[in-house]
Structure 1
Amino acid sequence: MPHRRKLRSGFTTGTAAAVSAKAAMMLLVEGKAPDSVRLTLPRGDTLKVPINGSRFVGGKAECTVIKDAGDDPDVTHRAVIGARVWMVDNVQGSNEVFMMAGEGVGIVTKPGLEVGVGKPAINPVPREMIRAAVREVLGSSPGRQSKDLFVEIFVPEGVEIAKKTMNARLGIVGGISILGTTGIVRPLSHEAYRATIRSALSVARATGLRNIVLTTGRRSERFAQALFNENPEEAFVQIGDYFGFSVEASIKQGLEDIVLAVFFGKAIKIAQGFHYTHAAKAQMSMERLAGWTLEATGESGLARQIRDANTARQALGLVRNDYPAVVSVVGKMMLHSARNLAGTHSSVGGVIFDYDGQVLFESVKT
């Protein structure tokens, strides 16, 4: 058996911003930027990160870092993330740190996120990391306790990178978000995806919605938006393979009218009771589908063909025209699984699409 290489962890945009800010503060205070910075992460461990560039611009110190996501397929991997810092006299003797969004860092425009409307899209943990980093450099040096610190985070390619994220849907405009709770990016992070789902559901609820349409990706979402075209953009949330998590999270947010809009293959997996539908964890059982086919049609020959099918697409081709009852059984079983998760105080409906967007099954009422 070939040896599998261990996947490499990286660091978050929040870590990159905090390292840049710390290096820029060192440049401002000491007149020289370091080659690398050691940063204390939220859980107490430390990380050494190289500095990409440094300079003074109009009395402001500026440093940048190349963001390293490790082996995680992160759209911000290799992005330049930087910080500009400067100090302003404060006659009251306070020592505040003010955070600002530079180019490529988004501004929050919708309620429901961890950051308030009108503020830079720098989440609370990265915000504290940045504050702690610059204050560590400032220390208790005489004469500096009566100055306010300004930290401007920037991402030169942030506007373009943001187009590959959910930021526009979440109401974050002008660039990316500065994120992270631990400071470290774990490869193929499930938590990162779940956090995105939670944010989208939170925005939907904060805009006053009670209903939500859960889709598995961009194609199914596009078909669902055409079908439910009276719903606002915030009502549609892409959940990937996180069916169970997303239904439960929707209920916690008070989104009590849920519609699942999925393709036939995902519907089969949900109908079988899988809460997480990725192929590596949820092997589709054609045996189960064959059993449902026999129950719905009485056709043992068809059931054998279904059992021997290689894919959901192939199975669908065997039943869609002449045996719609099979698709109906899958739809009803899918709803049964979802309603078991959602409980009795919610309405759960479902739509199953074929692979061209035609509706095969629709039940949007309990």
Structure 2
Amino acid sequence: MGKLKRSRNKSDLRGGYTTGACAAAVARAAARKLVSQEHFSEIEIELPNREFVTFTLARLEGGDEVLAGVIKDAGDDPDCTHGLEIQCIARWKNSPGIHITGGKGVATVTLPGLELAVGEPAINPVPRKNIYEMAELEWLKANALLREEIGIELEICVPGGEEAAKQTINDRLGLIGGISILGTRGTVKPYSTSAFAASVRQSIEIAKANGSEHVVLTTGSRSEKAAMKLLPELSELDFIQAGDFIGVGLRAAKRYEIKQVTLVAMIGKMAKLVSGRMMTHVSGHAIDFQQLGHLAREENIPQSVCEEISLANTGRYVLDRVRNLDSQSYLNRLCREAHEHANQYTTDALDIQVLLIDFDGSLLASSPELSLKKNK
């Protein structure tokens, strides 16, 4: 694995490396072994961010066909690929140049909408370029030694990749048979939000490429399950778990010219959207209970309950306090406030609908206040 540096934040979490960086390391190691037939235990590569890092090899074996491997270390970042062995099998090829393929445990693209063509291995453009550049350094040595242009095939494999992919949304994105080889920098920051945000954008891009004009942004698995029941005419590709990244989803929908977006949330996330917080993970952005209390007063909720709402500490408590009251106008008001903020966020570029659901998935309120739209 790479020699990891300690991060400088307060919690002193370890950084790690992407699957793309690991693939570039094993590609160079396998190519070097194939060319030189020498044995070594470490390999240095230049990452896409132009840092140099040395990886310790977990294996390096073979002669005419070489197998190299490194253990993926994501540092202290929770990652389903952490601990997997990223491998490369290098072999000579009659056609000149470097030929990169995907082997066992690397997904195959089966749907349009990605940067990769259907049928290609899911090795994204930046790591693919990095793999090529690192292997090219060894390939050029081979050409110089042999005084002729010869080819090398590099087969990237991830034993256990198909099982690890079950923890991702790859299957929904049409990435079948394993994990994707990813990474635009080569390094992983602990608890980085960038990967999740990127998956939201990618999901919308794929939905659009496959004909969707209506996507549903949900805040988690429970809200998604409820949304699928409320909007059964939509396909699975249209439902996107945006989590705390509703804002990312809205921007992506605008960018890819999606016509209609439905936001589905339970009271906790909805309460943040009411305040215009489209990125609900942001530190310090707690629910504004004073605002919720103010809106309750405007919707004629009893004064004593309004005061309790203003002093509440959870969205669930707010919902429980109004449950047995004539609170439909209040719940609709919450949706309307969130709806207006979402429209402002996208400069009215999208047809947006906001749905508030209960913890059992039932619909509590909506904005616009009308029956669910059934047109796709």
Q: TM-score range by the shorter chain?
A: over 0.9
Give 1:259 shift. 0.4
> How far apart in 2 are the matches of 1:218 and 1:344?
28
The alignment status of 1:150 with 2:153, answered yes or no, reads: yes
Amino acid corresponding to residue 308 of structure 1 in structure 2: L
The residue aligned with 1:76 is 81
- Given that residues 21 and 151 in structure 1 are in contact (C-alpha distance below 8 angstroms), is that contact kept between their aligned partners in structure 2? yes
Distance 1:209 1:115 in 2: 19
**Shift, 1:298, TM fit:** 4.7
2:61, 2:165 → 1: CA distance? 26
- Trace 1:256-267 onto structure 2 (pairs within 5 A): 256-267=259-270
1:167 aligns with 2:173: no
1:12 aligns with 2:18: yes
Q: Provide closer, same or farther for how the CA distance between residues 246 and 144 of structure 1 changes in structure 2, counting only shifts above 3 A.
A: farther
Select the residue among 318, 331, 354 that pairs with 1:350: 354
Name which of structure 1's ranges 32-41 and 46-55 shifts more when overlaid on structure 2.
Answer: 32-41
Aligned residues of 2:28 and 2:131 also touching (Cα < 8 A): yes
Secondary structure of the structure 2 residue equivalent to 1:254: coil
**CA–CA separation in structure 1 for the residues paired with 2:83 and 2:148:** 36
Q: Structure 1 281/98 Cα, relative in aligned 2: closer, same or farther at 3 Å? A: farther
Contact kept, 8 Å, 1:66 with 1:81, in 2: the verdict is yes
Residue in structure 1 matching 2:93, options 88, 104, 119: 88
Aligned-pair CA distance for 1:144: 6.1
Deviations 1:292-319 (A, max 9, x none): 1111015211101112222111110011
Query: C-alpha separation between the residues in 2 aligned to 1:96 and 1:321?
Result: 72
Moved more, 317-326 or 201-210: 317-326
Contact 2:261/2:353 (<8 A) preserved: yes
Decide whether the 8 Å contact of 1:104 with 1:159 is kept in 2: yes
TM-score (norm 1): 0.94
> Which amino acid letter does the alignment assign opposite residue 321 of structure 2?
L
Match of 2:99 in 1: 98
| Partner of residue 55, structure 2 | 49
For the Cα contact (< 8 Å) 1:23–1:33, is it kept in 2? no
Once the two structures are aligned, what percentage of the paired residues are identical? 34
Distance 1:35 1:281 in 2: 46
What do the CA deviations read for 1:241-276 (whole angstroms, capped 9, x no partner)? 112222111110111201001111111101111121
Superposed CA deviations along residues 163-198 of structure 1, whole A, max 9, x for unmatched, are 001101110000000000011111122221111111
Q: Which residue of structure 1 aligns with residue 125 of structure 2?
A: 124
Q: Is residue 215–residue 240 contact of structure 1 (8 Å, CA) maintained in 2?
A: yes
Answer yes or no: is 1:187 the counterpart of 2:190: yes
Instruction: Letter of the 1:289 partner, please give it.
Output: L
Alignment of 1:188-227 (within 5 A): 188-227=191-230
In the alignment, what sits opposite 2:65? 60
Contact 1:89–1:146 (8 Å) recurs in 2: no
Structural RMSD (CA): 1.7
Segments of 4+ in structure 1 off by > 3 A?
363-366
| Counterpart residue number, 1:304 | 307
Query: What displacement does 1:279 show?
Result: 6.5
1:23 aligns with 2:26: no
Structure 1, residues 54-113: CA drift from partner, whole Å, max 9, x if none?
A: 2228x31001100011111111111111000111233xxxx3211111110000000111
> What is the CA distance between 1:114 and its match in structure 2?
1.2
| Paired residue secondary structure (1:128) | helix
Which of 233, 239, 242 is equivalent to 1:239? 242
Q: Against the structure 1 CA distance between its residues 96 and 139, is the aligned structure 2 distance closer, same or farther, given a 3 Å change threshold?
A: closer
Q: Distance in 2 between matches of 1:289 and 1:135?
A: 60
* Partner residue of 1:359 out of 343, 363, 374: 363
Q: Which amino acid letter does the alignment assign opposite residue 317 of structure 2?
A: Q
The worse-fitting range, judged by mean Cα deviation, of 200-209 and 354-363 is 354-363
C-alpha contact (below 8 Å) 2:201/2:248 kept by paired residues = no
- The answer to whether the Cα contact below 8 Å between 1:138 and 1:144 also exists between their aligned partners in 2 is no
The amino acid that maps onto 1:193 is F
Question: What is the correspondence of 1:248-327 to structure 2 with a 5 Å cutoff?
Answer: 248-278=251-281, 280-322=283-325, 323-327=327-331
In structure 2, the CA distance between the partners of 1:348 and 1:145, relative to structure 1 (3 Å rule), is farther
Contact 1:26 1:34 in 2 (8 A): no
Contact kept? 1:215, 1:221, Cα under 8 Å: yes
Shift of 1:122: 0.1
2:337 maps to which residue? Answer: 333
Higher alpha-carbon deviation: 320-329 or 235-244: 320-329
TM-aligned CA distance change 1:53 to 1:144, over 3 Å: farther
How far residue 324 of structure 1 moved from its aligned partner, in angstroms, is: 2.3
Partners in 1 of 2:255 and 2:50 — Cα distance? 31
2:231 counterpart residue number: 228
Given that 2:26 and 2:68 are in contact with CA atoms closer than 8 Å, whether structure 1 keeps it comes out as yes
SS at match of 2:268: helix
SS of corresponding position for 2:44: strand
